[in-house]
Amino acid sequence: MNVKPKHIATFLLGVAAGAAALKYAKMSDEEKEKLTDNLKDKANKFKDEAETSFDKAKEYFAELSTKGTDSLKEYWAEAESYIKDLINKKEKATDIAADAASDIKDTVKNAGSDIKDAVKA
C-alpha cells in the first residue's frame, strides 16, 4: 500500500485531535469554561473582522466599478467622434485602419493607466 502525504496528514490530525480531547478531559470545570469563553471570544473577533473585510471589499469594488465606468465614458466620446470622422473621410482604407489602430492602442493604454491609478487610490 502506498502511503501518500494526505494519509500522513490525516494520521497526524487524528493524533492532534486525540491529544486535545485527552487534555480537555483532564481539565477542571473552571478551566473548561475559561477555554470555551476564550474560543467564543476569538470566534466573535474573527467573525467581526470577516464582516468588516467583506464590507470593505464591497466598497472597493463599487468604487472600482464607478471609476472604470467614468473612464470608459471619457474615452468612448473620443472613440465615437473618431468613428464619425472615419465615415465622413474619403481617405484610403489602409490609412484609416492605421490611424484607428494607433488611436485605439493609445486609448487602451490611457484607460489601463487610469484603471491602475484608480485601483491604487
pLDDT in tens, 37-80: 998 999 999 998 988 888 888 888 777 777 766 776 677 767 77
Domain segments of the chain as ranges: 5-120
What confidence category does residue 116 fall into, taking pLDDT thresholds of 50, 70 and 90?
low
Q: How far apart (Å, rounded) are the C-alpha atoms in residues 91 and 55?
A: 54
Evaluate whether 95 touches 102 at the Cβ level (below 8 Å).
no
In the chain, the N- to C-terminal Cα span, in Å, equals: 56
In the predicted model, what is the mean pLDDT of residues 4-28?
A: 91
Write down the pLDDT at residue 60.
81
Write down the pLDDT at residue 66.
75
Q: How far apart (Å, rounded) are the C-alpha atoms in residues 72 and 58?
A: 21
